[in-house]
Structure formats: C-alpha cells, structure tokens
Structure 1
Amino acid sequence: MKGFIFAILGGACITLQGVANARIGQDIGTWQAATVTQLTGFLMALLILLFVRDGNWQEFRKVNPLYMTGGAYGAVVIFSEVTAIQQIGVTFTIAALLIAQLCLTIVIDTSGWFGVVKQKMNRTQFIGLFMMIAGVIILKL
C-alpha cells in the first residue's frame, strides 16, 4: 500500500512539474526551464538527504556508470515535456508520457534490462495498454 501511495504522489508531482516547467519555459526558454528544474530538484534532494541521512556513500563505486545517466535523462524529460505541453496541452502530453513509459517498462521487464528480474507479461496487461492507447485516441477526437 505504501508503494502505491508513493506512486500516486510521484504521478501527481510529475504533472505539476510539467505544468510549472511549461510556464517557466514560456517566460525564459525551454532549456532554461530544464536547468532551473534540475537545480531546484538537486537542492531539494540535498536538503532531504541532510535530514534523512540514509544510504551508504562508500558503496558509490559499485554503481554501474550507465546508471549514473539518470539525471541526463531527466533533462531530456523536462525539455520534451515542456515542448509537448506547449504544443499539445497537458492532458495529451501526460497521456503520451504514460503510454511511452508503459511500453518501455514492458520491454525492460520482459528482457531484464538494468538487472531487473524478468517478468512475463500476460494478455490482460497488453489489453490494458491497448485500451489506454485507444482511450487517448478517443480523447483526442
């Protein structure tokens, strides 16, 4: 249950962040918005880290360098989301983002990329994905 609550919180924050970034992007530029967002995100994470103090920095060297690219993906996410919101609106942007996330997570789960345990996808999961895609198409009409 706790994981589900955090997933809902994360989803809400992604939407709020996207809308805020689009407004910032209109005022100062898209890459500037991405920079401001990454900087404020870093500062917030650092502040939380100072209070929570979890984890083990000594294990830092064990992390695969490929996984250290997560922040760079974040910059692309912000730029793409800001651009999409300005062109197609919040609803369709978030819908497309969710569908893209689900499609890629299916590939990651079924192939075991990034060291995740391989998962088998069943027919109902694919039906759910296609229903989401159909829902976005219907919403667009």
Structure 2
Amino acid sequence: MVTGIILALCGGMLVCIQNTFNAKVKEHVGAWATTTLVLGLGFLASLTIGLIVEGSQLFALKEAQTWFWFSGIIGVGVVLCVTQGVQQLGPSRAISIVMVSQILFALLWDTLGWFGLQTVPFTWTKALGVLLIGGGVLLFQLGGKTTTVQHVRKGA
C-alpha cells in the first residue's frame, strides 16, 4: 500500500509538471501541435522503455475488450483540455479542478461498476469527501487574484 501511495503522489507531481510544461509549449504553438508533440514524444519514450524492459512481450496482447486498447485516443482529449485549462487558470487551479472531476467520476464509475470495474457500494461518507474536496477547491478559487511583483535592478 505504501508503494501505491508513493506512486500516486509521484503521478500527481508528474501530471502537474507535464501540464505546466504543456501550457508553456502552447504559448508558442497551437493546441493541436502541443498535443501531437506531447503524445508523440510519450509514444517514443514508452515504446523505447517498453522494448528495453519487456522485449518481445511488449505487444503480446492479453484478453481485454477491444475498445480498451484505444484509451490513447482519450489521452488526446486529456492533453488538449488540461493544457488549455492550465494556460487559462494556472496550474494549481486547473489541476485542483481536474482532481475533483477525477474523484467525482471515479466515485460514479465505481458505484455503477462501469468499464468492467468491480462495483463499490456508494456511501454518504464518500459523497461528503467529494463535497469537502470540491469545497476546498472553491475556497482556493475564491482566494482572489495574485499580484506579480517585478524587481527592477537599479542602474539597468
């Protein structure tokens, strides 16, 4: 369980870094070019590492419903939406909204057993947890605009 928590924390950090970088790239090229670059480089990196780690077993497809193999297409929407959200809202606001959305949909899909998930009973405690996290994000959003202080060197 500790390993899972550490991996989840690292994943959250990497998502935040990636989307911050993606928003910076999008400042110089369009959203589709950014998405292509991100997913293309991700493909090359995962293919290279996958071949090194798994070798010929990399593409030994196991039994799964065919449509699950196309989840990379969903990644296009993820990169496109989150990158633009980060650019418009800033990383902390956008990622906190993404987090609440993920928790809300995870609760829904767990409860309904969608996508082949094992059904997890709905509890009001879980709903309250989602509401508390959502309330925290709302408080964060209402925190007001931040001001940027620019330091000017004398004699410059």
> TM-score of the superposition, structure 2-length normalised?
0.83
Moved >3 Å (runs of 4+): 54-60
Describe the SS at the equivalent of 1:27: coil
* Residue 95 (1) aligns with residue 96 (2): yes
1:67 deviates by: 0.8
What number of residue pairs does the alignment pair up? 140
Name 2:119's counterpart in structure 1. Answer: 118
- Counting only pairs closer than 5 Å after superposition, residues 7-86 of structure 1 correspond to structure 2 as 7-53=8-54, 57-60=59-62, 62-86=63-87
Gaps of 5+ in 1: none
Tell me the alpha carbon deviations over residues 92-132 of structure 1, each in whole angstroms, 9 at most, x when there is no partner.
10011001111111111011111111001322221111011
Tell me the alpha carbon deviations over residues 68-87 of structure 1, each in whole angstroms, 9 at most, x when there is no partner.
22111111111111111121
How far apart in 2 are the matches of 1:127 and 1:88?
Answer: 26
Gaps of 5+ in 2: 143-156
More divergent stretch after superposition (32-41 vs 50-59):
50-59
How far apart in 1 are the matches of 2:31 and 2:103?
Answer: 26
What amino acid is the match of 2:91? V
What amino acid is the match of 1:57? F
- Percent identity for Structure 1 against Structure 2: 26
- Which of the pair has more CA radius of gyration? 2
| Greater helix share, structure number | 1
> TM-score of the superposition, structure 1-length normalised?
0.92
More divergent stretch after superposition (62-71 vs 101-110):
62-71
What amino acid is the match of 1:121? F
What amino acid is the match of 1:42? F
Is contact 2:16-2:95 (8 Å) kept? Answer: yes
1:56 deviates by: 6.2
Q: CA RMSD in A?
A: 1.5
